Structure 1
Amino acid sequence: MGPLSATAFEAIAARLRDSKGMAAKADIGLAVARLGLSGADSVPVGDDCAAIPDGDGFLLFAIEGFMNEFVAGDPWFAGWCGVMVNLSDIAAMGGRPVAVVDAVWAKGEEGAAPVLEGLRAASERFGVPLVGGHTNLKTDRGQLSVAVLGRAKKLLTSFDARPGETLIAAIDLRGRYREPFSNWEAATDAPASRLRGDLEVLPLIAEAGLSRAAKDISQGGIVGTSAMLAECSGVGIEIDLSRVPAPEGVDLARWLMSFPSYGYLLSATPDDVPALLSLFEARGIANAAIGSVTADRRVTVANGAARETIWDFSQRALLGCGPAAAKAEDAA
């Protein structure tokens, strides 16, 4: 991808700053503050999963809730995503999934059927059992929440990116948009062996010590996810837009805010970058060093020599789970 015109670059930066995904992540901060949580808790809050020490490893515990319009507009895929995105969260922390539970609300059996079928299809394809949950078939609309349990031997976290490291993106581009939402769908047609093998790359990276910090690219997209990683680690991140892996012909601003079926950001020392990238390359997953971890507490995007700030943590928090928030609480 070549350099953008100054006008196009400024327009993309404006869309990123105003994105719904970033606003939704900021909403998390309101709940975190109300609950009195932070990244300084004994089980740090702000990561893809809660990592609970367990013997010589960690139990991983996560939950996802889905937008009502998504459940209503594409119920089968919402069910599929209930499993898929939770497994992505487990992998993002260097773990392997154990089991999934779901909570489904629907208007009768007819309303629940496609959601349940999507859940079952993903459970079978990924090879992770559904072991129970909650069902309510007497509501006026469909809603879905899904939780997962996993285990990790060594962690990848949101709290361990360090200035001077390289930011890496790994995204499966073998898909298409699942309209009308900005979900890049690259999983439902893939064979089980590929899906399971692709997820296994993340725990292998953790156990080999090639990275300490990673995040699943979520509804905030590449830039919003970078902001969450930066805040939790107490760092800044600069992204070179020309180096971001992207499908042919997509709108760049939309792509930077998209939620891919398989997409991760990782931070690694320059020496470890070649080995790390080669693991994704071997799986046919698009990968690149897309930027750098800095000490300036801002998330910026670059277009040649031009820079635009998307989020400045000296001005406001996002999740409220970073080290600065923890220090402020200690001083109060």
Structure 2
Amino acid sequence: MSARAGLPLGADAFAGIVAKLRASAGMAAKADIAVAAARLGIGGASAVPVGDDCAAIPDGDGYLLLAIEGFMNEFVAGDPWFAGWCGVMVNLSDIAAMGGRPLAVVDAVWAKGEEEAAPVLAGLRAASERFGVPVVGGHTNLKTDRGQLSVAILGRAKRLLTSFDAQPGETLIAAIDLRGRYREPFANWEAATDAPAARLRGDLDLLPLIAEAGLSCAAKDISQGGIVGTSAMLAECSRVGVEIDLARVPAPAGVDPARWLMSFPSYGYLLTATPDNVPAILSRFHERGIAAAPIGRVTADRRVTVVNGPARETIWDFAARPLIGCGPVPPRAEDAA
């Protein structure tokens, strides 16, 4: 599918998209993180900050990266091979989003017998082989009443990209592989299963190379929250705001704008950078055929705002309520005195 420059919209269409973004199930689901974090007593102020794509654990002259993904039961039941593939792929994306390279994955599979587990395991194996990252163990239960899947990953980074280091005045960049199609019925933009192994591995390596070159300090993998929801999580952790210009968002031609803004791409990242580093970042993605563009800016007002020409609407206001509840606690006035 060919690309178009962005998502310019009429006034009525913009109003409809704003309403859908505010009601987004993917974005609302991110609030579950706040519930779990509060119960566990962890967050952005923890020794290992929580709220990022991975836990970044200091280790020698770098960091060990540890992450885990669990998959919706209906996804595992409806597309088990692709669920297994995604078990590897989305974890690799999380490692890359933090400037890391993967070491190994483990999986936990529940199924009603070997026949039900077979396509999930086949998808896991296919992705492991294509991306060149081994599955080194896990947990298996073939005597349950429904299929479920969880996959964890270990990686390593020399220099981090994080959700906690976006700064007001920086440019917000989106980089998305548009060489794909929707894998129905879910909002997954699938651009990986037919791609050559060398391309997949090289594309993922762009993120650690950008980190190691010092071109960016903040990034996030575009997840089920979509471009706007992921921007919100990044902004909350960095205690900033973001303004997104819809006319600049890279998008496939003919896609429904609201669906696209809430989609989960197989390769999609948000990065922030100072204006002087933006051209170098864009060129690295463009050289590999990946659509990348500056789509907005980081602000100090702690709101997530979308812009369409002269029209602008706030999607989330962190002064009113948190989203994932993992933003660092600001210093108290008496502590700063």
TM over 0.5: yes
Partner SS for 2:45: coil
Q: CA deviation at 1:2?
A: 5.9
2:175 aligned with 1:179: no
Whether the 8 Å CA contact 1:95–1:150 is kept in 2: the answer is yes
For residue 322 of structure 1, give the secondary structure of its aligned residue in structure 2. Answer: coil
Q: CA deviation at 1:3?
A: 3.1
| Secondary structure, counterpart of 2:109 in structure 1 | strand
Query: How many residues were matched structurally?
Result: 330
Q: In structure 2, which of residues 190, 193, 200 is the aligned counterpart of residue 195 of structure 1?
A: 200
3-state secondary structure, aligned to 2:43: coil
Shift in CA distance, 265/326, structure 1 to aligned 2, threshold 3 Å: farther
Q: Which amino acid is 1:235 matched to? A: V
CA gap 1:277/1:213 in 2 versus in 1, 3 angstroms: same
Q: C-alpha displacement at 1:325, in angstroms?
A: 7.0
Alignment map for 1:59-208 (pairs within 5 Å): 59-208=64-213
Contact 1:107/1:139 (8 A) holds in 2: yes
Q: 2:302 aligns with which of 272, 290, 297?
A: 297
Q: Distance in 2 between matches of 1:34 and 1:55?
A: 31
Kept after mapping to 1: 8 A contact 2:7/2:251: no
Residue pair 1:234, 1:324 contacting (<8 A) in 2 also: no
Contact 1:48 1:215 in 2 (8 A): yes
Task: Report the TM-score, using the length of structure 1 for normalisation.
Answer: 0.98
In structure 2, stretches of 5+ residues that fail to align are 1-5
Match of 2:3 in 1: none
1:275 aligns with 2:285: no
2:291, 2:271 → 1: CA distance?
14
Q: Aligned partners of 1:28, 1:69: CA distance in 2, in Å? A: 20
* 1:260–1:87 CA distance, 2 compared to 1 (3 A): same
Identical aligned residues as a percent: 83
Pair 1:211–1:126, CA change in 2 (3 A): same
Q: Which amino acid aligns with 1:311?
A: W
| Partner AA of 1:133 in structure 2 | G
Q: CA offset at residue 324 of structure 1?
A: 4.0
The answer as to 2:50 corresponding to 1:51 is no
Deviation at 1:269, TM superposition (A): 0.1
1:261 is matched with which residue? 266
> In structure 1, which of residues 212, 216, 219 is the aligned counterpart of residue 224 of structure 2?
219
- Offset at 1:327? 6.2
Distance 2:306 2:273 in 1: 19
Q: Distance in 2 between matches of 1:315 and 1:70?
A: 33
Choose the corresponding residue for 1:32, options 23, 34, 37.
Answer: 37
Relative distance call for 1:255 and 1:137 in structure 2 (3 A) is: same
* 8 Å contact kept, 2:44–2:329: no
Q: Does 1:319 align with 2:328?
A: no
Q: Give the equivalent residue in structure 1 for 2:251.
A: 246
1:207 CA displacement: 0.1
TM-score, length of structure 2 as denominator length: 0.96
Q: Is the 8 A contact 1:163 1:295 kept in 2?
A: yes
| Distance across 1 between alignment mates of 2:218 and 2:115 | 43
The CA deviation string for residues 63-108 of structure 1, in whole angstroms up to 9 with x for no partner, is 0000000000000000000000000000000000000000000000
